Structure 1
Amino acid sequence: MFLLAVLPSAQSLKFDLPAQEADEASPFCVSHYVDDETQVVVKVSVGPGIHQKTSLEITDDSEHLNQLWRKDSLSEDRQRATFLTKQAGDVVACFTNVLSNGYRPDPKYTRTVDIDFDIGSETIDYELLAKQEKLKPMEVELRKLEDMVKDILENMEHLQAREERMRNTNESTNERVKYFSTLTMVVLVSLGLWQIFYLKQFFRKKRLID
């Protein structure tokens, strides 16, 4: 069974992932919406789990499900995936937890997964930036605020663009409904007039009316 969960605004999620047999294993997926041309850092680690192999594949939600990152055997050490999105949409992280041969699924065979999405300005290492540009603490904080404001403005522009697309779609749909309703009325009236004319001709032939 394919499960899909949308990450909350905190962009961090922790959950227990049951182990499955290899021939019946199905992915558990989480997703996060990201704008195009946006830097993304995904940090993930898994808890201890004997006789279990946990893999992760990160893709976009395009028609071809382009692979952005893959790790076949996650460990307790925190893994870090960095990539730049090509188009706006959901970034989907799918986990699969497979049991070693000869072992059957059991509630004791689970691994705790900890995944965190850093997006846009959240991916910037401000400590490194401060060393490179010799920034003072106050300047670093101002840089953080500036980057946060940029992210907010980009999100607002994205929401505005989506609103415009939805409004255009609604207006187009309303126009089509109006034309369809008008056409339906014309057809119904025409059929009604034709029925009246046909019945009058029929009754006249039968000499039931003059």
Structure 2
Amino acid sequence: MASAIKFDLPATLSVHPKRKCIHQYVPQDTMVLVLVKVSDGYNQRVGLEIFDNSLSANSYDKKRDLNGEVRLAFNTHADADISVCFTNTLHDGIQPDPKYSRVIDLEFEIGAEADDYQSLAKAEKLAPLEVELRKLEKVVQEIVDEMEYLKTREAKMRDTNESTNERVQWFSLLTLFTLIGLGTWQIFYLRRFFKRKRLID
């Protein structure tokens, strides 16, 4: 899967930099290719940080003073949202102004789209049709992996539902027996009480 986005990144003071983040969910052990194009801009420094929101909070890359085109490739370590965050800070002594901004062109390619098939075609001397078949093979493999992941998740959810259902059943039985026991005790207690007060025989 590939996605592209283009936006203006206003410059802020380096004391309080503002981040602009793009988020994308990516499964574990998936190749990700991030292509960034930064427009020219004076008195500004663009920074980039790539990380995920998993429990281990994996950091994939961190760059400062980005200019021109940058390609970053990595494999994910967990099923999580990948965040690509940008900052644009002004050089010291420069005051914020609407004219200070940089245009960011971001492409996010995941899985089969992230592989460099041109290099592969040159290395293995593949025909264009063979390259397309390799792409399709990778896409099909990703679909199979996704189906396996969904199947595993469905099994876990089913186990959780069955476990919850069993607990609710036991809790219902416990509540029922408790109510029956309290009702029986109440009847005997009231009978004894009324007999003691000689209200009934």
Instruction: Please say whether Structure 1 and Structure 2 have the same fold, judged by a TM-score greater than 0.5.
Output: yes
> CA–CA distance in 1 between the matches of 2:93 and 2:187?
80
Alignment of 1:6-155 (within 5 A): 10-75=2-67, 77-102=68-93, 107-155=98-146
- Residues 207, 155 of structure 1: alpha-carbon distance in 2 compared, 3 angstrom cutoff: same
User: Gaps spanning 5+ residues in structure 2: where?
Assistant: none
SS at match of 1:114: strand
Q: List, as ranges, runs of 4+ consecutive aligned residues in structure 1 with deviation greater than 6 Å.
A: none
Verify the 8 A CA contact 2:2 2:113 in the aligned structure 1: no
Please list the CA deviations of residues 144-201 of structure 1 after superposition, one character each: whole Å capped at 9, or x if unmatched. Answer: 2222222222222222222222222222222222222222222233223333333333
User: Gaps spanning 5+ residues in structure 1: where?
Assistant: 1-8
> CA–CA distance in 1 between the matches of 2:186 and 2:77?
60
2:174 to 172, 176, 183: 183
- Residues 18, 178 of structure 1: alpha-carbon distance in 2 compared, 3 angstrom cutoff: farther
- Residues 196, 68 of structure 1: alpha-carbon distance in 2 compared, 3 angstrom cutoff: same
User: How high is the TM-score relative to the length of structure 2?
Assistant: 0.83
SS at match of 1:196: helix
- Residues 176, 73 of structure 1: alpha-carbon distance in 2 compared, 3 angstrom cutoff: farther
- Residues 84, 208 of structure 1: alpha-carbon distance in 2 compared, 3 angstrom cutoff: same
Q: How many residues align?
A: 201
SS at match of 2:8: strand
Structure of greater Rg? 2
Q: Which amino acid in structure 1 is aligned with residue 48 of structure 2?
A: L
Per-residue deviation, 1:107: 4.7
Q: Which amino acid in structure 1 is aligned with residue 7 of structure 2?
A: F
Per-residue deviation, 1:65: 1.0
Per-residue deviation, 1:67: 1.0
Please list the CA deviations of residues 62-82 of structure 1 after superposition, one character each: whole Å capped at 9, or x if unmatched. Answer: 22312111112322x121111
Please list the CA deviations of residues 81-110 of structure 1 after superposition, one character each: whole Å capped at 9, or x if unmatched. Answer: 111222322222222333444556555444
